[in-house]
Structures are given as structure tokens and as C-alpha cells.
Structure 1
Amino acid sequence: MSNTETIFEVRDLNVTFQMNRGQSRVVRDADIDVARNETLGIIGESGSGKSMLASSFLNAVVEPGVTTGEVTFYPEDGNPVSVLDLSDSELNRFRWEAVAMVFQGAMSSFNPVTKIRTHFRETLQDHNRDIPAGMDRARDLLESVYLDPERILDSYAHELSGGMKQRALIALSLVLEPDVLVLDEPTAALDLLMQRSIVTLLRELQAEYDLTLVFITHDLPLLTKLADRIAVMYAFNIVEIGTTDDLLYNASHPYTRALLDTTPDLNVPVDEMDIIEGSKPDPVDQIPGCSYHPRCPLADDHCRSEEPAMMTVRNTQESACFYYNQAADAVPISAAPSHSPTTDTATDGGDR
């Protein structure tokens, strides 16, 4: 991917925490590019490192976490930005003006004793933006996410439903016109209908505001409705990446295939659903070789002694597995999630 196409480039990224029992690595040697105007999905089990990887895009891993490696942002006009080398003041501008993040749990993102209007005004003021013009944009954004601007601006967070809070937070994240929006489990606390509405809404916002989206979730069926490409994380690293169709119909890492096969299906009884046998890896006591080998039906001595690098499977797909060409036979998939786009309409959310 050339720099004219790339908006983010991540190389040899590691995130570590020092714990009483040793150093915990919660992102390991991650390499990934994000293309301008694409939607990149990042998926994996809870605790796989998804949120830490996403936070690294903004150098926002909280202390005592330590982020090393290279994270480069390529603005459409201007010089490349080394994100991990930015000063505190530069980071403050970068995090809102170039890249914004919507964290998990909209309620905790708003000050409960401050009206939504004040959140918008303070954000604009902190970045030396014209307040009247910025508030006009805020009203346009709130309308874009199917909310009544004056009602929302004059409300406290506790007066809004979960879906309304989440959409107000998305509008707030866009008020400074960032190029990239990173969303960390933005639908986790919402019901199924509102989850689908948020996905529809994000597609509309992406087209209207020329956005690049990075969407982090553990909900694979939801992600397939939105993502152009999907990166699969296991044991704090990316083990497979490709287009959504690549991963749904030609997944080549045994973990990806197992993940697809454990996706909930309303047509399958609970007692007949597959699970991934074994335990998730420990961030401190990391095993030699391929991190998935204790749970993998293809594992042999080679896997137990050497960690596989990412290998090109096809033009748009890479997999960190020595035996990627045998994965389909070893881990058959009974039913992959549908990739047909959702057609739900994002509404004002009612009392959801």
C-alpha cells in the first residue's frame, strides 16, 4: 500500500505493562496499514489486545503502559506524523483534529453534571475554534445522527437513552472534522436493533464526511456489515488480515476459522454450538512458538518451537500460520455469518 493510499502505518508495535509477576505484553510486534477512507475491523476474543492496539493509533495507552514501535499518520496534505513522538500539546490537537476515538460506554464519556452543549463548546474552545461556527457544525452533526439538536444540547447524559448517548458521542467526536474515527466496542451496551442502526449510521457518516473508520469489536456478524477489511487478533498480535470476503469464505488461520464456527446462530441449539477448546494465553507467561498451538489441531513440533510470521495467502490476505493451506480441512466451518449489508434506518432512538 503506497503512502498516497495509506493514512496509518503501524510497524513493530508493542504495548507492555510491568506487573508484580513480570512484564505483560498486551500488543506484540503488530504490523498493519490502514487505507484512506476504508473501514478496518479489528476482532478477537476479550483480552486479545484489540483495545490496546486501537489506543496505540492515538498514543493513548494509559500509564503505566509503555508503547514502542512506529505509528505513522499520513495527512492528505502535509508531512507524515510520527504519533509516538508527539509532545503532549501536539497529541491533544492530533487526537481530536486528525484522529478521534469513541470509547466503550457513552455514559462514562460525558460529565453527568454538564449539559451536552457544554461538552461541544469546551471541545471547540480547547482547540481555539470559532464557537458559533463550531456549534452550527454540532447541530448539523446531531441532525446527521438523527437527533434533535436543541433537545440533545440542552440535555444531561442521564436524560438520554443508550442509543442517543452513543450517537451524541459520535457527533461530538466529529465536531473538529477529524480524518479518522476509531471506535472501541461502540455498540456493546446497545440492543440488537440499535446496534444495526449504529452500523447503518456509520456508513452514512463515512460517505458524508469522507472518514476512515477503525472499528473494534468481538461481534463478528456485526462487523461483516461494515468492514472492508478485518484484522483478527489472538494472543496480543494480528494473526490474519484480509478483506471481509477473504475471511468469511477463505479464512486460512485455524483460529479465524474456529472463531467463525463459534459465531452464534439462532438456527442452532445452544448445546450444539461449537466452542474453542483450551485457555486464552497469558500476557506474562507467553509460550514459545505459535501462540495458538495449544488449541490448534494442526500444531506440530515446528509450531511449538517457532513463531510463524505473516505470510501472503492471496493478494489481499495474510495469515500467520505455517499450514494455512491445510486449515480449511482441519477446521471446517458449518456456517459463516452473512456479508449482506444491513438496511436498517437509524432513527431518533426512542427509549432504547
Structure 2
Amino acid sequence: METDQTTADQVYSTDDPIVEIRDAAVTYDDGESYVLDHVSIDLDRGEILGVVGESGSGKSMLASSLLDAVPSPGRLMGKITYRPDGDEPVDVLDLEKDELRSLRWEEISMVFQGAMNSFNPTMPIRTHFEETLKAHDADVPEGIDRAEELLEDLHLEPERILDSYPHELSGGMQQRALIALSLVLEPDVLVMDEPTAALDLLMQRSILMLLSDLQEKYNLTMVFITHDLPLVAALADRMAIMYAFRLIEIGETRDIVENAAHPYTRALLNSTPNLNAPLSEMRPIEGQSPAPINMPSGCAYHPRCPLASEECRTDVPDYHDVAPDHGSACYHWRESYDEVPLVYEDSLGGTAGGESR
């Protein structure tokens, strides 16, 4: 199909956004470099969005930006709008401290990396739930009832978990207890930053299936941050690929898995071990992603890209329509199908590869 260049807002807009991110940028040095570089994307109400990229690509900074929780002295710019169902839109970056405190956990909640670092080791799990409920002036007995239901949804024994200290639980149990804690105030949006990174592959898959069930039961909107593209492909409705603090490709999950158009996305698919491909077929991505203070000119991926041309070295590419609701920021996306072939059977069924369009 013939494609046109388009803007990020056109590529990423949705019919019923619950969160709109426009030109979000984070700097620690007054704009000389960025750890989130002018990202625009909508989060559709009720969807699961997978945000994928290597370590240091800006994924966690994007997650923190959704809650205006960028660590000091970082400065977050742009516009982030939360649209609760039936209420007026909320400008997240214009909230007072008390308003922002209410937004976090009550409207938009987050599961951070490493459950073992999220719990106070001197307090039983029950106390974590009680203190969270009290901090938000919620009814504690009612909240504990809800916590017990959530723990059961996550295939845990509520009384055992609530009366245990964190160190008495396995890593998988801690992670599921943390997910229950993040949902106890009934938020609309759940942001998960590498929630399964410290777990073995089978436990990762198990938690993903449980998250899918939770999303359906509680009508949640989820953002799942990960470096593991094949893992999140089993869960997400759409995927957004980040490289060097920018979004470089976004589309429906099946279209990304089967017809990834950016050379980096295709290389990422080839480099990630998964249950459907032998290790012998995995291909590491040569080179390293750039640091914020040493960004190359033009397309940030060009020093590692086999398709890089002079245009790539000098000009930042616009987004191109690859398919409906699938955009790629690459001048040579058509050639990528032949030049960067996919070498594995995808986790959604069928053979990945893509074809020239």
C-alpha cells in the first residue's frame, strides 16, 4: 500500500483515550539532553499497551511521567491529560500536591520494578494495605475485603499472604501481592514497570495470564513496560517501541509481531529469547544504544542500522503509515522486510516475517 508521512499525534491518536500524552520530555540539564524526548501517544480506554525497548531507552521515564513522578531534579515538560469516564479532563502536570496524591493510586496506579524493594521488610503485608487505605481516607475494612478478593484473583491465599512478612513470600508471591496492593483503591489505569523482570519464564507467563484476567474483570487500562517483546506480545493489544528516549514504532500487537517495519524492532524480535525459538537462532543487536549526552544526529539508530543512508545520518525521520494504526519512524521501512528478516515463529501463532508492501 502507498504510505504517507504523518505526525505522531495522527499515528497515535485513539477514539476513546483515557490518557493523552503530548510532546512529553524530561531533562536533567535544562534541555541540553533528554531522557524522554518529546513523546506523543494516546492510551485507549480499556486497552493493554506494551511499551518495549532496551534498558536505558526511556521506558521507565515514560511510566513515571504518567503520574508526574519524575525523580528530582528532573524536569517534565509537555502535556498529559487524564480523562476519567464521565468527568472533566485532568491536566496532570497542573495538579497541586494534594490533587496529585489523590490521582496516584486512586486513578492511576503503578507497580515498580522489584517487589522486594517495594515492601517494608519490618511490616506484614496486611499493614501495607491498611496504611495505603488510610493514606487515601478509604474505608479500611472494606478495602481489606477488596484486597482479599484481589489476592484470590491472583491465586493466592489471602489470610496467609496478609499475615506474612515480605521475606516469607517467594518472588512470585511478592509480585502478585504488590499487584493487588496497586489495585486496592480501584484505579482506572495500572502502569507496570518491568513487573516480571526478576522472575523465571514460567512465572512470568503465569502472571501475564492473571493480568489478562484482572484486566477483563475490573475493566482496567494497562501500560506494561518491558524489554521483552515476545513476552508482552501475549498480553498487549498494541505495542509501542522505544529507542534512545523516543517512540520509533507503534501498532497493533499482531501487526508489530508479524510485520514490524523499523529495523530496530525487527532486530529486537530476533535478539530476545522466547519459548517459541531456539537460542541458536537468536541474533544480538550489534553496538550500544546512545547515552542522553551523546545522541547521534539524524536517526538515533543509524550507527547500528544495516540500512542507514546519508539521510538517516542527518535528518530525524517522520512517522510513516505502514498499515492502519501502525506507524514507523524510518526512511527505509520497506526495505527492512528483506534486509532484516525475522527468524522465529511468533508467540501468537503463525510464522513471523513480514512481506514487502
Using structure 1 for the length normalisation, give the TM-score: 0.92
Residue pair 2:242, 2:248 contacting (<8 A) in 1 also:
yes
Question: Shift in Å at residue 336 of structure 1?
Answer: 4.7
What SS does the aligned partner of 1:18 have? coil
* 1:235 has 2:244 as partner: yes
Distance 2:60 2:144 in 1: 31
The answer to whether the Cα contact below 8 Å between 1:184 and 1:216 also exists between their aligned partners in 2 is yes
In the alignment, what sits opposite 1:18?
29
- Summarize the Cα distance change of 1:10–1:275 in structure 2 as closer, same or farther, 3 Å threshold: same
Q: Which residue of 1 aligns with 2:286?
A: 277
**Given the superposition, is the C-alpha separation of residues 284 and 249 from structure 1 closer, same or farther in structure 2, using an over 3 Å criterion?**
same
Question: Which blocks of at least 5 consecutive residues in structure 2 are unaligned?
Answer: 1-11, 350-357
Q: 1:273 & 1:175 partners in 2: Cα distance?
A: 40
Note closer, same or farther for the CA distance 1:153–1:312 as it changes in structure 2 (3 Å cut): same
**Which residue of 1 is the match for residue 83 of structure 2?**
74
Counterpart for residue 343 of structure 1: none
Instruction: Give the aligned partner of residue 354 of structure 2.
Output: none
**1:54 matched to which residue of 2?**
63
How far apart are the structure 1 equivalents of 2:203 and 2:344? 25
Contact 2:45/2:221 (8 A) holds in 1: yes
Q: Shift of residue 269 of structure 1? A: 5.0
Secondary structure of 1:29's aligned partner: strand
Tell me the residue number matched to 2:130.
Answer: 121
Partner of 1:345: none
- State the Cα deviation string for residues 113-156 of structure 1 (Å, max 9, x = none): 01111111111111111111111111111111111111111111
Give the AA of the match of 2:193.
Answer: D
1:268 Cα deviation (Å)?
A: 3.7
Quick check: 1:211 aligned with 2:220? Answer: yes
Cα contact 2:189–2:221 (8 A) shared by 1: yes
Determine the structure 2 residue equivalent to 1:252. 261
Change (3 A) 1:265 1:36: closer
**In the aligned structure 1, how far is the partner of 2:43 from the partner of 2:165?**
36
Alpha-carbon distance in structure 2 between the residues aligned to 1:148 and 1:281: 45
Specify the alignment match of 1:96 in structure 2: 105
Contact 2:13 2:41 in 1 (8 A): no
Greater than 4 Å deviation, 4+ residue runs: 1-4
**Structure 1 residues 255 and 4: CA distance shift in structure 2, 3 A:** closer
Cα distance in 2 for partners of 1:253, 1:89 equals 42
User: Aligned pair count?
Assistant: 337
Contact in 2 for aligned 1:248/1:336 (Cα 8 Å)? no
Q: Separation in 2 of the partners of 1:330 and 1:2?
A: 30
One-letter code of the match for 1:210?
Answer: N
Q: Does the CA-based 8 Å contact 1:7-1:75 persist in structure 2?
A: yes
d(CA) in 2 for partners of 1:106, 1:209: 22
1:187 to 171, 184, 196: 196
SS at match of 1:25: coil
What's the offset of the Cα at 1:43? Answer: 0.5
Contact kept in structure 1, 2:46 and 2:220, CA below 8 Å: yes
Contact 2:231–2:274 under 8 Å retained in 1? no
- 1:60-90 deviation per Cα after TM superposition (whole angstroms, max 9, x unaligned): 1110111111111110121111111111111
CA distance in 1: counterparts of 2:78 and 2:39, whole angstroms: 9
> What secondary structure is seen at the aligned counterpart in 1 of 2:103?
helix
Q: Helix, strand or coil: the match of 2:159?
A: helix
The 2-side partners of 1:296 and 1:158 are apart by: 45
Shift of 1:23: 4.0
CA drift at 1:18: 2.8
**Cross-structure match for 1:9:** 20
- Corresponding residue number in structure 2 for 1:171: 180
Of the three residues 300, 322, 328, the one matched with 2:331 is 322
Greater shift in the superposed pair: 232-241 or 319-328: 319-328
What is the one-letter code of the residue matched to 1:78?
A: D
Within 1, Cα distance between the matches of 2:330 and 2:202?
37
Asked whether the equivalents of residues 229 and 242 of structure 1 are also in contact (C-alpha less than 8 Å), the reply is: yes
Residues in 1 aligned to 2:129 and 2:283: alpha-carbon distance in whole angstroms? 46
Task: Please tell me whether the aligned partners of residues 48 and 224 of structure 2 are also in contact (alpha carbons under 8 angstroms).
Answer: yes
Tell me if the contact between 2:51 and 2:239 (Cα under 8 Å) persists in the aligned partners: yes
Could you list the per-position Cα deviations for residues 208-229 of structure 1 after superposition, in whole angstroms to 9, with x for gaps in the alignment? 1110010001112211110110
- Summarize the Cα distance change of 1:269–1:93 in structure 2 as closer, same or farther, 3 Å threshold: closer
Shift of 1:265: 5.5
Summarize the Cα distance change of 1:268–1:161 in structure 2 as closer, same or farther, 3 Å threshold: closer
Q: Provide the C-alpha distance between the structure 1 equivalents of 2:163 and 2:278, rounded to a whole number of angstroms.
A: 46
Structure 2 residue aligned with 1:347: none
Give the deviation of 1:288 after TM superposition.
Answer: 1.2
Structure 1 unaligned runs (5+)?
Answer: 341-352
CA distances 1:181-227 after superposition (whole Å, capped 9, x unpaired): 10001001111221111001000100111100100011122111101
Aligned letter for 1:317?
H
